[in-house]
Amino acid sequence: DAKTTQPPSMDCAEGRAANLPCNHSTISGNEYVYWYRQIHSQGPQYIIHGLKNNETNEMASLIITEDRKSSTLILPHATLRDTAVYYCIVRGVQGGSEKLVFGKGTKLTVNP
């Protein structure tokens, strides 16, 4: 079963920041938080991942709370092409055999 809880849907205005929350209250100390997104009828696309510290890349920022029980994915300037289902996934560090288990995700709709 997925170890994360996300709101089923969110809306955001184009050009504004999109903040997508994720709860992972049972996360273990050696588990990473991964974010992927899936645009309709395509394979999931990697966005970002982190363990304890906040992370930023060219796509997004990941803010992880100090107790690690929740995180927020931030898309700083959302565009229409960011409309997708966003998945927050917790994954251990046992190596490549550790599977990714997807929850239901958040459907983000970016409006003009």
- Count the residues in the chain: 112
- Give the nearer residue to other proteins in terms of CB position, either 16 or 54: 54
52 binds other proteins (CB under 8 A): no
DSSP-derived secondary structure letter, 14: T
| Separation in Å, CA 18 to CA 27, 52, 61, 68 | 24, 21, 10, 21
By CB under 8 A, name the one of 21, 23, 103, 109 that touches other proteins.
103
- Name the minimum Å distance from CB 13 to other proteins: 25
Tell me if 21 sits within 8 A of 3, measured CB to CB: no
Q: Which range, of 22-30, 58-66, 69-77, 97-105, touches other proteins by CB under 8 A?
A: 97-105
C-alpha 77/C-alpha 97 separation (Å) is 35
By CB under 8 A, name the one of 42, 67, 81, 112 that touches other proteins.
42
DSSP-derived secondary structure letter, 33: E
- Give the nearer residue to other proteins in terms of CB position, either 7 or 14: 7
Residue 106's region, left for phi above 0, alpha for psi from -120 to 50, else beta, is: beta
By CB under 8 A, name the one of 33, 34, 64, 84 that touches other proteins.
34
Binding site for other proteins (CB under 8 A): 34, 36, 38, 41-46, 49, 87, 95-97, 99-105
